[in-house]
């Protein structure tokens, strides 16, 4: 009975970790990596031939407008 309880608790901890935070972390780090690659070193971001602030770039990224931008 104790072994079953231990396994049950381990499975529940894993499931909660996956549901609450596991799935979004890789996306956020990928988004951050993309913005760091597009920075011009002066606090601005250079995207598709135009300069914009970091906040404007984050907003555009959240709307899905930077999905095909490469650096």
Q: Each residue of 9-29: pLDDT tens digit?
A: 888 888 887 777 655 445 678
Q: Are 24 and 14 in contact (CB under 8 A)?
A: no
Please tell me whether the overall predicted TM-score, pTM, comes out greater than 0.75 for this model.
Answer: no
What torsion, rounded to 10 degrees, do the Cα atoms 45, 30, 25, 67 define? 80
Tokens coding 14: 């894993």
Contacts of 53 (CB under 8 A, 6+ apart): 43, 44, 45
Name the percent of the chain lying above pLDDT 70: 85
């Amino acid at each position: 009975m104790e072994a079953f309880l231990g396994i049950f608790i381990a499975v529940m901890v894993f499931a909660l970790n996956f549901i609450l935070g596991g799935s979004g972390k890789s996306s956020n780090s990928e988004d951050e990596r993309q913005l760091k690659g597009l920075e011009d070193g002066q606090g601005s971001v250079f995207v598709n031939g135009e300069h914009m602030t970091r906040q404007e770039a984050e907003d555009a990224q959240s709307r899905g407008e930077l999905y095909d931008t490469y650096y």
